[in-house]
């Protein structure tokens, strides 16, 4: 067989030629969205690569960062930068300034491509960015914020205008770096994960598999998951492989514009974290829209409450659960029920799992003593995985050895996910908690996720997060943090009774401590930020009622 490298370049060329009529629609907030074909996007990516090389001097392995929303220009950068041999580094625009500064310096980014609307975020950081030489501004924004900066400033459209329309793409080693993304740094400094051309190509095959997202050029995917969050779950790369049309929301991520996008552009698929869908569900409940085109949504990032899945079923929208993390590129499992369960009482039980492992992801469960646990659907342990799109180490900066901390990688090289759960005999993963979030009460484990899902099934509850707090008698007990819907009348006693009567929660697992908040704190990627809640409780900042 011929040995042809699996590279991002080949995805770019294939999508441009074979799926040239597929479209990227970028929402602008105006009457007409911006529409570009894959052929036009590919041509502009060629011009961007020429500009980066000839005008900015970008060479092999140079890091080119993006501080951008989901839009067509960001897709151009996705393909131009790795294809020319450089490394795409997507910056999480929701991280604190100090973390962003640390990440840019640690990665040694030479260039930052930024949306004009994000200049107020970037400009104050520039004096502390020691390796950045160029800033390329895409779209409208107040450039005066960059006045006096030591970096060279370029306009994106002016930079790529009149550039050559061909590029002699290098034949790259498929194992060399194509892109990098940093974890959100919930503990310690953020950690860099470097994706190879090979891992991106193979992950694209998995994303397009029928038992995964299974999309084609007849589909349009509303990509709400940020492009800075694990390469938008691989959708831009997967789209150039199979011609999936993309609907990019840019900075318009609120429920009202998202509902309008679905109604006007008519996507068949969408991908986002549960908090996005909770907001959209509330908007659709208050102001119904025609969302009949939306056949399925992929939900990942954190567990989707079964009650929300049922609510979307009533709207004719099929929710498909998925699990993954930055280190897994990210798709690790997708919850497509097996054939024998379709149309039976078992089907929903499969849908609310995290999903089945594909052939490219090997999995095992490890008990607290290091013992290997069986796939029996009952034995709970920490999930460990390995595979061709699973990280084997963290990036440790220029000219430094990769990091393989013992709490993140086993001695034989498996990734320790930090997730606790069970695996059924037929390979379906059910996560019961994060190892750091599980509540250890009197020597027994209580799943914070199970309590949250049960609480969010109550009609008066918009959001609920449960964390472990110290208890003199039991070691730890659950604290239930609740966001009530507007006009709700439920009190803590009735919510506790609901958990017992409707949620089937055992009496010893029921929370005694309760508090109401206006919103659950979120991480930079939209997950519940439980460390903030624990810190607020310890500081006495929460108004806690004890039943």
SS3 content of the chain, % helix, strand, coil (to 5): 30, 25, 40
- Write down the catalytic residue from 73, 174, 327, 382: 327
- Write down the catalytic residue from 101, 183, 328, 432: 183
User: Closest Cα partner for 410 from 438, 386, 433, 374?
Assistant: 386
Given strand 63-67, what is the order of strands in its sheet? Answer: 152-155, 134-138, 109-115, 63-67, 87-90, 177-182, 192-196
Give the span between the Cα atoms of 72 and 53, in whole angstroms. 21
**HEC states along 247-303?**
EECECCCCHHHHHHHHHHHCCCEEEECHHHHHHHHHHHHHCCCCCCCCCEEEECCCC
Active site residue 347: no
Give whole-number Cα distances, 232 to 27, 132, 260, 513, in Å: 17, 25, 21, 37
- Alpha helices, H only, 323-434: 346-351
Q: Roughly what angle, to the nearest 10 degrees, separates helices 72-83 and 8-18?
A: 130
Give the span between the Cα atoms of 285 and 282, in whole angstroms. 5
Stated as kind and residue range, the H or E segment containing 381 is strand 381-386
Give whole-number Cα distances, 435 to 362, 416, 421, 442, 470, in Å: 20, 11, 9, 17, 17
Give whole-number Cα distances, 8 to 54, 73, 197, 201, 469, in Å: 21, 17, 6, 7, 47
> Residue 112, Cβ neighbours under 10 Å: how many?
25
User: Closest Cα partner for 94 from 75, 121, 72?
Assistant: 121
* Backbone torsions φ then ψ of 219, nearest 5 degrees: -100, 155
- Write down the catalytic residue from 102, 375, 445, 474: 445
Active site residue 283: no
Give the span between the Cα atoms of 435 and 438, in whole angstroms. 6
Do 47 and 160 contact (CB within 8 A), yes or no? Answer: yes
Active site residue 507: no
Active site residue 327: yes
Task: Report helix, strand or coil for 379.
Answer: coil
Give the span between the Cα atoms of 102 and 108, in whole angstroms. 10
Return the beta strands (E) in 71-133 as ranges.
87-90, 109-115
Looking at the DSSP assignment, which residues form a beta bridge with residue 466? 480
- Write down the catalytic residue from 378, 440, 444, 502: 440
* Backbone torsions φ then ψ of 246, nearest 5 degrees: -115, 135
Which are the catalytic amino acids?
183, 327, 440, 445
């Amino acid at each position: 067989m011929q040995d042809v490298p699996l590279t991002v370049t080949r995805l770019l060329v294939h999508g441009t030629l074979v799926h040239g009529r597929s479209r990227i629609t970028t929402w602008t907030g105006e009457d007409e969205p911006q529409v570009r074909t894959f052929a036009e996007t590919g041509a502009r990516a060629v011009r961007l690569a020429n500009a980066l090389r000839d005008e900015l001097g970008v060479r092999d392995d140079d890091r080119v960062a993006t501080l951008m929303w989901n839009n067509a220009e960001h897709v151009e950068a996705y393909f131009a930068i790795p294809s020319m041999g450089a490394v795409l580094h997507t910056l999480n625009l929701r991280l604190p300034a100090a973390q962003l500064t640390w990440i840019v310096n640690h990665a040694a980014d030479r260039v930052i491509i930024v949306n004009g609307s994000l200049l107020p975020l970037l400009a104050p950081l520039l004096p502390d960015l020691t390796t950045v030489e160029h800033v390329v501004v895409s779209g409208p924004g107040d450039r005066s914020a960059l006045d006096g900066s030591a970096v060279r400033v370029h306009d994106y459209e002016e930079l790529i205008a009149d550039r050559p329309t061909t590029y002699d793409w290098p034949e790259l080693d498929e194992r060399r770096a194509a892109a990098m993304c940093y974890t959100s740094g919930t503990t310690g400094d953020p950690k860099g994960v470097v994706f190879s051309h090979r891992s991106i190509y193979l992950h694209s095959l998995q994303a397009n598999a029928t038992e995964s997202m299974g999309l084609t050029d007849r589909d349009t995917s509303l990509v709400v998951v940020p492009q800075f969050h694990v390469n938008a779950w691989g959708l831009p790369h997967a789209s150039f492989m199979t011609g999936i049309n993309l609907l990019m929301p840019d900075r318009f991520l609120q429920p009202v514009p998202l509902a309008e996008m679905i109604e006007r552009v008519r996507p068949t698929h969408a991908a986002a974290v549960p908090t996005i869908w909770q907001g959209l569900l509330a908007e659709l409940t208050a102001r119904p829209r025609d969302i009949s085109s939306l056949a399925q949504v992929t939900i990942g990032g954190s567990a989707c409450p079964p009650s929300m899945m049922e609510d979307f079923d009533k709207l004719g929208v099929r929710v498909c659960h998925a699990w993954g993390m930055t280190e897994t590129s990210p798709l690790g499992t997708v919850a497509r029920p097996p054939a024998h369960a379709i149309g039976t009482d078992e089907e929903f039980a499969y849908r609310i799992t995290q999903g089945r492992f594909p052939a490219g992801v090997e999995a095992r469960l490890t008990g607290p003593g290091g013992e290997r646990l069986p796939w029996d659907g009952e034995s709970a342990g920490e999930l460990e995985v390995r595979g061709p799109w699973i990280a084997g180490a963290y990036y440790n900066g220029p000219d430094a050895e990769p990091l393989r901390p013992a709490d993140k990688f086993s001695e034989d090289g498996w990734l320790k996910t930090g997730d606790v759960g069970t695996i059924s005999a037929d390979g379906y993963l059910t996560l019961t908690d994060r190892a750091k979030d599980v509540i250890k009460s009197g020597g027994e484990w209580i799943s914070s996720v199970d309590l949250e899902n049960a609480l969010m099934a109550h009609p008066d509850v918009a959001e609920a997060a449960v964390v472990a707090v110290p208890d003199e008698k039991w070691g730890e007990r659950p604290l239930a943090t609740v966001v009530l819907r507007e006009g709700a009348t439920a009190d803590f006693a009735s919510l506790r009774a609901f958990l017992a009567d409707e949620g089937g929660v055992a009496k010893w697992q029921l929370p005694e401590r309760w508090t109401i908040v206006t919103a659950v704190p979120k991480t930079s990627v939209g997950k519940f930020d439980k460390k903030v809640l624990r810190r607020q409780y310890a500081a006495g900042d929460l108004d806690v009622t004890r039943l």
